Structure 1
Amino acid sequence: MRWDIFCQIVDNYGDAGVCWRLARSLSSLHGQQVRIFCDDLPTLNLLASGSDEALGHKIDIQPWEASYSNARHPVETPDVVIEAFGCDLPERYLAGLFIAPIKPIIINLEYLSAEPWVAEFHAKASPQSHGIPKYFFFPGFQEDTGGLLLDPIPLEGGQVAHLVPQSLKSIWLKLRSGAKRISVFCYPGAPLRKWLEDLASIDESVDVLLTHGHAELLNLCSEKTIALPSNIQLLSMPFVSQDEYDWVLSQCDFNIVRGEDSFVRAQLAGKPFIWHIYPQEDRAHEVKLAAFLDLYLENASQELRLATIAAMTWAMPSEWLKSLETWDSHSKAWRSHILKTQGDGGLAARLVRFIA
């Protein structure tokens, strides 16, 4: 089938990351023909840059405005149109669908949530005045939701340690033997300076891998540079592709992630992590975080529950780091649980079956 995915980038990388991962899953695993229309091609192309070249040629990446070029409709009417995260389709594109001899199915792909109500609304029809069938599709952790994006399923960290991406080789040479590794990818509102200063008070060597732009967040390039003792080493990474970032997550002992794509990838890496969920004015993010933690910690001990909740709400590392070993075992068990519950192929496979 032919699929058009519409992606408007609201939060730098996350929206593009999900759309690209879905496109590659549909193409490489399910043999679908996929076009992506995106309003920020430079970001999307950066994320896709590390993918297999043959895969890249299969997925047609287009600027947003190309979707309503007169030359494209109704000749190339797709079978499925995906509105990623509820973005509105361009009016001229929609007009082309009206006159198409065979109408596509429109999917409103929602944000991932562990909230219980998701299952009730997943796959429900959204009747439209124009008559083109439209449905809500909710990604989720439970079997009666849209599932998770799994492609590619990462190998265990130790299995790929020697495969250092070219873009990261100079950074990896600076890592110290025996030091813990922490990757950092968070929103500007996080208390990162204070968090790192507290981490430095613990008598342990830690190499902190800062994703692109985080050095500026910490003012490392100004006179207000953060002063840390020698047991903490800050390493600033270049912008890396989606696959390369997945690899980094697998090689760290602890990860700080944000958004939807890195949130799922951190879980699939099987490592402890902080999910810096996108803050919303109505504090809806707190409800979403609590719903996830209810699932994530369902089988955890009381001690680990308290430590994990403290870490996820930005308590200082000295308050919970002693539980890291137990948390690591729990993370591996959670990874196995996810792969078992998503054994039907996860979101991409469920979406293909739903359309069929």
Structure 2
Amino acid sequence: MRWDIFCHVIDNYGDIGVCWRLARQLVTEFDISVRMLVDDLGAMQRICPAIDPRLAVQNIRGVEILHWVEPFADLVPADVVIETFGCELPPHYVAAMAAASPRFSEPEGKTDRIWINLEYLSAEQWVEGCHGLASPHPSLPLIKYFFFPGFTAATGGLLREAELFALRDASRTDPAGLWRELGITNPAANEATVSLFCYDSAPISDLLEAWAGSISPVRCLLPEGTASASAASWAGISRLAAGDSIQRGNLTLHVIPFMSQENYDHLLWACDCNFVRGEDS
């Protein structure tokens, strides 16, 4: 069985993060042949440094990754097609699906080809009524199904690698290892460690100021290039880069390098509190 995952990168790495995590899990745990079609390989490289944005086709960790550009290449449609977050498939790929796969139009349970729109994660109750709904194509013999991740049994649930909790527990046995890699000291016993990942436009100045005035020490770890410009403005300096630190009141702000997806998981496990803006949170 072959799966195609289409990803249109919008912002802040949530969309590409979900797609990359899903693709790796399908290959590793289910032995499925997966193609990822991504329109912004530069963004993907930030969370997967092995990516070469110059290549049209490459294979990383068993996943075939294609640069999604127009005019779109002629491809044989996969057995399962994942259209993530309403990114809209290329029209002639959809036409090829219809021409090659009349079984798409058969009733649920009788088809061996599936077209899914993977939607955004939500805790709102309405997603229970929308998860799994069928959407017939207006002019082609195709049916698209809506898949809503969520937190109840009536939704699609959450992505979670089989070994995730074991990796988490192992990571927590030696949190000092992460701090050494980042080039910062171990947190003090009474110090709260916080990661902050948000849009650069997020109004974080008041938050940083509140931490600076905290009655106990706060260490904030800010990945480079996310809100570092806003943090620099708050600190009254022109720019902040990875490795820079600012001390104000009871706040120590560390700008850390942008991390791969796996390393970011380790950062989340090591912190007392995490602010995360992104679908993969």
TM-score over 0.5 (shorter chain): yes
Partners of 1:248 and 1:120 in 2: CA distance: 35
Taking the TM superposition and a 5 Å limit, the aligned residue runs for 1:212-227 are: 212-213=224-225, 214-219=227-232, 223=237
Give the equivalent residue in structure 2 for 1:161.
175
Structure 1 position 181, deviation (Å): 0.9
- 1:185-236 deviations in Å (ceiling 9; x for gaps): 1223433111111111122122110112222122258646898535321110
Partner of 2:270: 251
CA distance in 2, matches of 1:81, 1:236: 39
CA distance in 2, matches of 1:18, 1:153: 15
Structure 2 equivalent of residue 117 of structure 1: 126
Letter in 1 for 2:124: E
Distance in 2 of aligned mates of 1:211 and 1:33: 33
Say yes or no: does 1:96 pair with 2:77.
Answer: no
Whole-Å separation in 1 of the counterparts to 2:27 and 2:277? 26
Question: Is residue 203 of structure 1 aligned with residue 222 of structure 2?
Answer: no
Q: TM-score, normalised by structure 2?
A: 0.80
Distance across 1 between alignment mates of 2:177 and 2:60: 21
- Taking a change above 3 Å as real, the CA distance of residues 17 and 160 of structure 1, as seen in their structure-2 partners, is farther
Aligned residue type for 2:159: L
Tell me the secondary structure at the aligned position of residue 66 of structure 2. Answer: strand
Q: Return the letter of the residue paired with 1:215.
A: S
What residue number does 2:56 align with? none
Amino acid aligned to 1:193: S
How far did 1:240 drift?
A: 0.7
Instruction: Figure out how many residues of one structure are paired with residues of the other and give that number.
Output: 252
Call closer, same or farther: CA 1:228–1:163 in 2, change over 3 Å. closer
Q: Indicate conservation of the 8 Å contact 2:84/2:119, yes or no.
A: yes
Q: What's 1:142 paired with?
A: 152
Q: SS of the counterpart of 1:194?
A: helix
Name the CA distance, whole Å, in 2 between partners of 1:17 and 1:83. Answer: 15
Q: Which residue number in structure 1 is paired with residue 182 of structure 2?
A: 171
Letter of the 1:185 partner, please give it: F
Q: Which has the higher strand share?
A: 2
CA pair 66-163 structure 1, distance change in 2 beyond 3 A: farther
Partner of 1:187: 199
Q: How far, CA to CA, are the matches of 2:4 and 2:24 in structure 1? A: 13
Quote the Cα distance in structure 1 between the aligned partners of 2:175 and 2:251: 22
1:108 match: secondary structure: strand
Contact 2:229 2:239 in 1 (8 A): no
Provide the residue aligned with 1:56 in structure 2.
Answer: 60
Query: TM-score with structure 1 length normalisation?
Result: 0.64
Greater shift after overlay, 29-38 or 57-66? Answer: 57-66
In structure 2, C-alpha distance between the alignment counterparts of 1:174 and 1:255, rounded to whole Å? 19
The CA deviation at 1:153 is 1.9
Say which SS state the counterpart of residue 114 (structure 1) adopts. Answer: coil
Q: More helix per residue: 1 or 2?
A: 1
Q: Does 1:69 align with 2:60?
A: no
Gaps of 5+ in 1: 263-356
How far apart, CA to CA, are the structure 2 residues paired with 1:40 and 1:89?
15
2:201, 2:255 → 1: CA distance?
Answer: 19
Q: Does 1:106 align with 2:110?
A: no
Question: How far apart, in 2, do the equivalents of 1:230 and 1:174 lie?
Answer: 18
Instruction: Give, in whole Å, the separation in 1 of the partners of 2:248 and 2:127.
Output: 46
Question: Cα RMSD between the aligned structures?
Answer: 2.6
1:139-191, Cα deviation, whole Å (9 max, x unpaired): 11001110001125242363342543xxx645343344333211111223433
User: CA–CA distance in 1 between the matches of 2:148 and 2:140?
Assistant: 23
Report how far residue 20 of structure 1 moved.
0.6
SS at match of 1:210: strand
Distance in 2 separating the partners of 1:158 and 1:67 = 47
1:82-107 Cα deviation digits (max 9, x unpaired): 11001110112222223225653210
Alignment map for 1:79-90 (pairs within 5 Å): 79-90=79-90
AA aligned to 1:113 is S
Equivalent residue in structure 2 for 1:234, among 239, 253, 272 = 253
Q: Percent identity?
A: 40
- Mapped to 1, the partners of 2:98 and 2:131 lie a distance apart of 26
- What is the CA-CA distance between 1:43 and the residue it aligns to? 1.4
Q: Quick one: structure 1 residues 239 and 69, their matched pair in 2 at CA, closer, same or farther if it must change by over 3 Å?
A: same
Name structure 2 gaps, 5 residues minimum.
Answer: 52-58, 105-112, 241-245
Determine if contact 1:122/1:136 at 8 Å carries over to the other structure.
yes
SS at match of 2:42: helix
